[in-house]
Amino acid sequence: MTACRSAAKARAPADPPRRGHRGDRRGQPRPAQGGGRRRRCNRPPVQGSLSGGAGDSLLFRIEVADGARLLNVMSHGGSGKVSVYVSSGEPPAGDAYEFRSSRPGNSETVRVRNPAAATYYIRVVGETAFDGLTLQARVD
């Protein structure tokens, strides 16, 4: 997940750690051993310590590949109140969005089951001033 004003790419996929497997010293899992099939998934891109005022809007994007089963977008932590909007192809704007979460506070969740392969845009809108918000998007 990247902020749309940045040219950075989302983190590359990585193998999840296997049960009872320690990985290397940097905390990264080692490749699976043997001839078994390896499951691939995205590490959850995280944007932390987001802040803004009432009415402020932050825009992010994440690439979803063909065959994905779930796009899960979550926000949590900090103070204030935000709403999260998600759309594919074009950024959500006004009433033009595909998915929305608007619960009290900053704990928001949007789940897109069997998402089409596309660029998904995530807009965080401050309903009140917010600070210390963490935004996480994961593709499984």
Nearest to 3 by CA among 60, 57, 44: 60
CB atoms within 10 A of CB 13: 12
Give one DSSP letter per residue of 1-25, joined into a string.
Answer: -EETT--PPPPPPBPPPPTT----T
pLDDT tens for the 140 residues of the chain, in order: 666 543 333 333 333 443 443 443 333 333 333 343 333 444 456 788 899 999 999 999 999 999 999 999 999 999 999 999 999 999 999 899 999 997 888 899 999 999 999 999 999 999 999 999 999 999 99
Amino acid identity, position 80: G
pTM over 0.85: no
Domains of the chain, earliest start first: 46-140 (2.60.120.380)
Please state, in angstroms and as integers, the Cα–Cα distance from residue 19 to each residue in 23, 43, 64, following that order: 10, 17, 27
Please state, in angstroms and as integers, the Cα–Cα distance from residue 51 to each residue in 79, 82, 127, following that order: 9, 10, 12
